Amino acid sequence: MPTVDIASSPLRELNSALHKLTPNTNETHWTVSNPRGQHNIAVGLDFPVEIEIDGHVGYYCAGMNKQARVTVRGNAGQGVAENMMSGRVHVTGDASQAAGASGNGGLLVIDGNASARCGISMKGIDIVVKGSVGHLSAFMAQAGKLVVLGDAGEALGDSIYEAQLFVRGTVTSLGADCIEKPLKDEHKVELKKLLDDAGVEGVSPDEFKRYGSARKLYHFHIDNVGSY
Amino acid sequence: MSAQDRWIHTPPRKSATFDDAAIAEIRRAAATGIYDIRGAGAKRKLPHFDDLLFLGASISRYPLEGYREKCATDVVIGARFAKKPIHLKIPITIAGMSFGALSGPAKEALGRGASSVGTSTTTGDGGMTPEERGHSDLLVYQVLPSRYGMNPDDLRKADAIEVVVGQGAKPGGGGMLLGQKITERVAGMRRLPVGIDQRSACRHPDWTGPDDLEIKIQELREITDWQIPIYVKVGASRPYYDIALAVKSGADAIVLDGMQGGTAATQDVFIENVGLPTMCAIPPAVKALQDLGMHRKVQLIVSGGIRNGADVAKCLALGADAVAIGTAALIALGDNDPALEAEYQKLGTTAGAYDDWHEGRDPAGITTQDPVLAARLDPVIAGRKLANYLSVMTLEAQTIARACGKSHVHNLEPEDLVALTMESAAMARVPLAGTNWIPGSNI
């Protein structure tokens, strides 16, 4: 099991080594120590490898991840798991803004809170935030599911497309074209699976409200101009 | 009418302020309740390269022999950080235009034409198609605010990456693709519902400002193992500062797009009223590079209203390393062809004025997703036309460069230019013709 101390070796070496992994490798479990808030750790992975990062990370950790399972034992800076395609990214602390931005797939789990614009432009990623999310989360969210066990800030789901939002706590305000929708049995099944995948115990899907698109802004009409 | 009546009733006089176009737009807005959306770039009269002239050689400068003495045109882009910089045979590239805005055959034709003369094409909002990759020897992959179609596999397939901050037709605005063009394939690539009016974000979702951009560029380099160049594209608005900040952020090359640069669709009010004309944006951009000691190290690619080899030569003389063409390339493929006049008439327009590219009804089969219309464009023939046009532009630029005594088009310099008007002299920072006066140069 390789252990890389990136306080003493360049980030380039770590990312390069992770990019060069081949299907025959035995090095499927890596530990990264002393990240000390460095940016761009473990970006662009495309291999079913397990990465554990012991400490806080800077911007774009696990950016564009495919297949890999990345755990950050600490807080994550801006854009954690941005544009993720598949795999799983788990932050045990809090995440800064734009967590999971434009993600296409995979699962992002944040044990703490996520800041503003969590899930902005999400395109199929699933995000579970065990704390609360900041303003403009799921802005222009296209596809995927955002689950928030705490509260959501202002303008949740502004200009949302077909992503589904589940919030257990309060929502300060909904953004343009985002409305509360019925939580049907099929949604509860999906939600339960996501909660299980994220390791959430003792929380029932019945405790959530579901939000999504009113689809009134899909076609421009002058009478809706006040919504923009 | 009696003589007395003629004196009482003055001849009809139209207002210069409320001219036919202004009145028509007021009436159209009142009738429809929606702003005018269209494609292409600024149509108003702007200070442009026509206002500049080359001096040519004389007793104090001697020319190179046309056809006999070499005048090189090659450009290397991205050697600042990339292990595999791009080598272009000509200093003219194809600007970013999306599959979605353009038909599949049009994208293929762009790739065929550009590849045959050794230059690059660029993706657009919506991602990379296999056809486009397959027909472009050198393909620049755009990273846009919407991130439609963005994925690391295509990123690694690219020959360069272009982080798009802005566009000359709409600096500060996001993309737009109306429902007629959001077909199943386009919607699938962008992960959008079919047929909606798509309006892209104007800011990137995960960074704002130069400090963030520096980290974003580093991320893209890490993902692509520092192999390929990273460009930053800006619309011309504050070129001195934008170029300086792009250099600071670690760009290998910068694309500077003036307001004559086209768009697939945006508001007419935006196209005509926001941004700077291309010509006046180049000198401050070059000054920023020179002040940082980065001129010719970070390449400057200029776009927006480039039409011929003279425009190319003038951009290079002002300090650009290459140019990019979009609208002109579409015209070379067959856009606005007078042979289609009858069909343009049916659309309420005329050849040379057709700009409703967003409606997807292009009779030339270029700015459409209608399979019947798209099938009209033969990508082999259209690609050949584009190659011809690019070759002609290159020859024209060489002709001018040789006349100025330059063995490489990059040896053209501001000293080779004069301006025909005071405003163009001030904007291009070259002397008014027949004088040594550059307005504002002593300020």
Long-range contacts of A56-62 (CB under 8 A, 24+ apart): A56/A93, A58/B215, A59/B212, A59/B215, A59/B216, A59/B219, A60/B206, A60/B215, A60/B216, A60/B219, A61/A89, A62/A89
Q: What tens digit of pLDDT does each residue of B35-74 get? A: 899 999 999 999 999 999 999 999 998 999 987 899 999 9
pLDDT tens, chain B, 443 aa long? 676 676 777 889 999 999 999 999 999 999 988 889 999 999 999 999 999 999 999 999 899 998 789 999 999 999 999 999 999 999 999 999 999 999 999 999 999 999 999 999 999 988 999 989 999 999 999 999 999 999 999 999 999 999 999 999 999 988 778 787 888 888 888 888 888 888 788 999 999 999 999 999 999 999 999 999 999 999 999 999 999 999 999 999 999 999 999 999 999 999 999 999 999 999 999 999 999 999 999 999 999 999 999 999 999 999 999 999 999 999 999 999 999 999 999 999 999 999 999 999 999 999 999 999 999 999 999 999 999 999 999 999 999 999 999 999 999 999 999 999 999 999 999 999 999 999 988 64
CA B55 to chain centre: 27
- CA-nearest residue to A100 within chain B is B206
B193 CB neighbours in chain A (<8 A) are: 161-162, 218
Sort out which chain B residues have CB atoms less than 8 A from A101's CB and list them: 147, 205-206
Please list, in sequence order, all residues whose beta carbon lies within 8 angstroms of the beta carbon of residue A47, skipping any fewer than 6 positions away: A18, A21, A23, A66, A67, A68
Task: Report the residue of chain A nearest B33, measured CA to CA.
Answer: A222
A137 interfaces chain B, CB cutoff of 8 Å: no
Q: Where are the domains of chain A?
A: 113-228
Those residues with Cβ within 8 angstroms of residue B188's Cβ, 6 or more apart along the chain or in another chain = none
- CB–CB of A185/A141 below 8 Å? no
Flag whether residue A143 sits within 8 Å of chain B, measured between CB atoms.
yes
Whether the per-residue pLDDT at A205 is higher than 60: the answer is yes
CATH number assigned to the domain covering B71-407: 3.20.20.70
Quote the pLDDT of residue B7: 72
Exposure class string for B214-245: b at 16+ Cβ within 10 A, else e: bbbbbbbbbbbebebbbbbbbbbbebbebbbb
Q: Predicted ipTM?
A: 0.96
**Size of the A and B interface in Cβ pairs below 8 Å:** 99
For A88-126, the pLDDT digits (tens) are 999 999 999 999 999 999 999 999 999 999 999 999 999
**Domain ranges for chain B:** 71-407
Contact B75, B302 (CB under 8 A): no
Q: CA of B196 to nearest chain A CA: how many angstroms apart?
A: 5
So what's the pLDDT on residue A43?
98
B34: contact with A, CB 8 A cutoff: yes
Residue A123 at interface with chain B, using a CB cutoff of 8 Å? yes
Q: How large is the average pLDDT for residues A200-222? A: 92
pLDDT at residue number A225: 65
**The predicted structure's pLDDT at residue B1:** 62
Considering only residues 183 to 212 of chain B, which have any Cβ-Cβ distance to chain A shorter than 8 Å? 190-193, 196-197, 199, 201, 205-207, 212
Per-residue confidence (pLDDT) for residue A226, from 0 to 100: 67
Distances in Å between the Cα of A201 and the Cα atoms of A73, A114, A189, A195, B211 are 20, 20, 15, 8, 40
3-state secondary structure of B177: strand
Residues of A in Cβ contact (< 8 Å) with B192: 142, 161
**Cβ proximity of B417 and B428 under 8 Å:** yes
- What is the per-residue pLDDT for B68? 86
C-alpha distances out from residue B358 to B38, B102, B350, Å? 6, 10, 16
Task: Tell me which residue in A59, A83, A218 faces B147 most closely, judged by beta carbons.
Answer: A83
